[in-house]
Amino acid sequence: MEDAVRMLQHTDFTICAWDGERLIGFGRVLTDFVYRATIWDVIVDRAYQGRGIGTEIVTRILHHPQLERVELFWLCTRRPGFYERLGFSSKEQTGMVWNRSKNSRLE
């Protein structure tokens, strides 16, 4: 919980979907608000999936007035099909990852 609170405090932009008081969808963005933004943790409650909520979360991020100047949005996903429908491409950029737990023996 402490880590989640710290993460949210230092996140530039969050979007939530609610059913009454129940949180059913979430997405967040780290960005400089001009050149680059990364989208993280897009997730919809299993019971609410397949109703367009995930699409709405990503669409609202891409077109939100606070983010409308951002030139490039990045994300990492194991589900490229969902994002390809929304116009994302994996052909233009090559992502690389440095994972602290996997590299700890090098430190």
Ligand X SMILES: CC(C)(COP(=O)(O)OP(=O)(O)OC[C@H]1O[C@@H](n2cnc3c(N)ncnc32)[C@H](O)[C@@H]1OP(=O)(O)O)[C@@H](O)C(=O)NCCC(=O)NCCS
Alpha carbon of 26 to those of 14, 20, 37, 56, 57: distances in Å? Answer: 7, 15, 16, 11, 7
Q: Which is nearer to ligand X, 33 or 55 (CB)?
A: 55
74: tokens are 């990045």
- Rounded to 5°, the CA angle 89-25-67 comes to 50
List interacting residues with ligand X (CB under 6 A).
42-44, 49-55, 77, 79, 81-82, 85
- Residue 62 · residue 73 · CB < 8 Å: yes
CB of 50: closest distance to ligand X in angstroms? Answer: 5
Q: Which is nearer to ligand X, 20 or 107 (CB)?
A: 20
CB of 52: closest distance to ligand X in angstroms? Answer: 4
Q: Is 83 labeled as catalytic in the residue annotation?
A: yes
Kindly name the residue from 83, 97, 104, 106 that is annotated as catalytic: 83
CA distance linking residue 95 with residue 77, whole number of Å: 11
CB of 29: closest distance to ligand X in angstroms? Answer: 13
Active site residues: 83
